[in-house]
Amino acid sequence: MGSEYQKTRYASILAPKLALLYSSTMKYRRIAVAFLLISALGKVFPQGVDRAFPPDDTLRVIVDPIPFGVEAFEARLERIREEEGRELLGLVLAGGSARAFAHIGVIQELEAAGIRPDFIVANSMGAVIGMLYAAGIPPARMADIVSALPLENYLSPVLPTKGGIIHADAFTAAVEMMVGSQDLSKAPIPIIVTAEDLRTRRQVELAAGEFARVMAATFAMPAIFEPAALGDFLLVDGGSTNLVPVEIAARHSSFLIVSTALYNKSMSFGNPLTVLNRTFDIGKTRAGMEDLLVVRPFVIRNDVEEISYMEFSSPEAIIERGRLSALDSIGTFAGLLPPSALHRPLSPELAAARALYEERIPARLADLRQGILPSLPASLRFTLKATILDAFEPSPMDLDGQAYLGLAMVGSAGKAKATLSSIVGLSGLAGREWGLAAGISANPIGAFHASAELRLWGDFGQAADLFLEAKSVETLATLSWSSRSDDP
């Protein structure tokens, strides 16, 4: 695979240089000949790059991707070629955060036109959509999932002790609750998703691995989400270096459909964060466009290029934009696809998966709405506790509605959570200038929730009292059968 990758890259690099030989001006011909002569001498007398960076140098190998399960992926594709005697059709789903919801609408229209891919290559949020589709979830149920799982309820802010300010354990656990525990290599539609390994600085092409863990890696936006550990890798979002992984797909077929989710809106650069965001975007968008221009696949350019990457609150509208964009584009290339790629029956494996998820997804979504929590992996994190203004109507287990600021250590495992926290009151309430608390909450069965907390309250005293005066101790407990949980 590595040699094929190098051939593709060398071809894309040398093609424009060779084209200079045919330039109408002698100036460019001489420049081109000189360049090629220097390159040839470098091969004969490798005192330059090869000497500075020998083959096993850690910087040199950065350009070589790391395959993970790709050999089995390729074997599955070869089996399809042999059994059906045709070129395969690949679907590439580009990254783009919330804009990637458009891929669901695209998939809906592709299937309506009788176009179903033999394999998928995707990254970033496009990989989340691609993995759900590859697992066998019907497109309509995919739309139900993103509409019924508001991300703000499943992403938790944390102190950046593990490389990010948000952890997504609850989201990936909810996905696993619906999809089940499976390996990516067993998905009915073969799929490769990309990530970047922080340790080796190499791209990792994932065609295998625990489904939920791989998904966590694919959208781990650097510095925002915590990097995801997978084996020896420490992975972040593959879309951070290239938003359109079409070059990977081109190694496996010449029939490719790319669904984009790019950003192309005028920006004001007075805000440093805007400058940082645009700078980060330039490289990954440029790399994706370069590969599109080299590979030249069929393209569905989704009408989402002015939508913010954080517009997760409007999935239905973005899905509809994708559907309309696909309707506008499919007619331009459907007639160019081989007849054998159209209106193919579902494989027995894919048909069985779709029947399973057609029943399971509505049931699991109903469970989540009723307050049944997904089972979380064991973890220990630190987070801020803060309420800036006093609450008019305090809820059970809150701090009597008072404003406060503090720090908490939170441990989670399965459907239980334990916390140790310290706070400073901001309301000036006598006897409650500071507090220490230890609590536990659990969802042991069905929608039944139980929680308890022990609190020690006090005021800031004199130096002789070590500045802290304990005033009171209280215990609280709640039992509930919830119809809906807003805190997974």
What is residue 195's predicted lDDT score, i.e. its pLDDT? 98
Pinpoint the alpha helices (H) of 229-299.
246-250, 272-295
What is residue 474's predicted lDDT score, i.e. its pLDDT? 83
For 226-239, the pLDDT digits (tens) are 999 999 999 999 99
What is residue 351's predicted lDDT score, i.e. its pLDDT? 97
Question: How large a percentage of the chain has pLDDT more than 70?
Answer: 84
DSSP-derived letter for residue 129 is: H
Reply yes or no on whether the pLDDT at 293 is more than 80: yes
Cβ proximity of 434 and 426 under 8 Å = no
Q: What is the DSSP string of 81-107?
A: HHHH-S--EEEEE---GGGGGHHHHHH
pLDDT tier, 1 (very low <50, low <70, confident <90, very high otherwise)? very low
Reply yes or no on whether the pLDDT at 400 is more than 90: no
Reply yes or no on whether the pLDDT at 133 is more than 80: yes
Among 155-159, 242-246, 429-433, which stretch is predicted with the lowest mean pLDDT?
A: 429-433
| CA separation for the pair 58, 53 (Å, rounded) | 9
Domain 66-370 has what CATH class?
alpha beta
> Does residue 434 come out as left (phi exceeding 0), alpha (psi in the -120 to 50 range) or beta?
beta
Higher pLDDT, 151 or 61: 61
- Both tokens of residue 35? 């360049």
Which residue type is seen at 73?
A: F
For 346-386, the pLDDT digits (tens) are 999 999 999 999 999 999 999 998 989 999 999 999 998 87
What is residue 470's predicted lDDT score, i.e. its pLDDT? 75
How do strand 89-93 and strand 255-259 relate by DSSP bridges? parallel
Question: How large a percentage of the chain has pLDDT more than 90?
Answer: 63
How do strand 255-259 and strand 164-167 relate by DSSP bridges? unpaired
What are the φ/ψ torsions at residue 389 (nearest 5 degrees)?
Answer: -115, 150
What is residue 296's predicted lDDT score, i.e. its pLDDT? 96
Cβ proximity of 469 and 461 under 8 Å = yes
By CB atoms closer than 10 A (0-12, 13-18, 19+), residue 164 is buried
Cβ proximity of 125 and 219 under 8 Å = yes
What is residue 48's predicted lDDT score, i.e. its pLDDT? 79
**Best mean pLDDT range from 351-360, 418-427, 470-479:** 351-360
| CA separation for the pair 449, 230 (Å, rounded) | 32
For 182-225, the pLDDT digits (tens) are 999 999 999 999 999 999 999 999 999 999 999 999 999 999 99
Reply yes or no on whether the pLDDT at 464 is more than 80: no
For 7-40, the pLDDT digits (tens) are 554 454 445 444 444 444 455 566 666 666 666 6
- Both tokens of residue 444? 């042991």
What is residue 311's predicted lDDT score, i.e. its pLDDT? 86
What is residue 258's predicted lDDT score, i.e. its pLDDT? 98
Any idea which residue has 């009292």 for tokens? 465
Higher pLDDT, 448 or 30: 448
Quote the Cα angle for 13-16-20, to 5°.
135
Tally of residues, the chain: 488
Helix (H) / strand (E) element for 67: namely: strand 66-68
CA distances from 78 to 118, 121, 442, 454 (A): 11, 16, 48, 62
Crossing angle of helices 102-112 and 124-135, in 10° steps, is 40
How do strand 298-300 and strand 376-387 relate by DSSP bridges? unpaired
For 140-192, the pLDDT digits (tens) are 999 999 988 877 788 889 999 999 999 999 999 999 999 999 999 999 999 99
Question: Averaged over 87-95, what is the pLDDT?
Answer: 96
Which residue type is seen at 92?
A: V
Question: Averaged over 242-264, what is the pLDDT?
Answer: 97
What is residue 152's predicted lDDT score, i.e. its pLDDT? 76
Cβ proximity of 460 and 432 under 8 Å = no
**83 CB neighbour count, 10 Å cutoff:** 8
What is residue 96's predicted lDDT score, i.e. its pLDDT? 94
| CA separation for the pair 232, 195 (Å, rounded) | 13
pLDDT tier, 389 (very low <50, low <70, confident <90, very high otherwise)? low
Average pLDDT over the chain reads 87
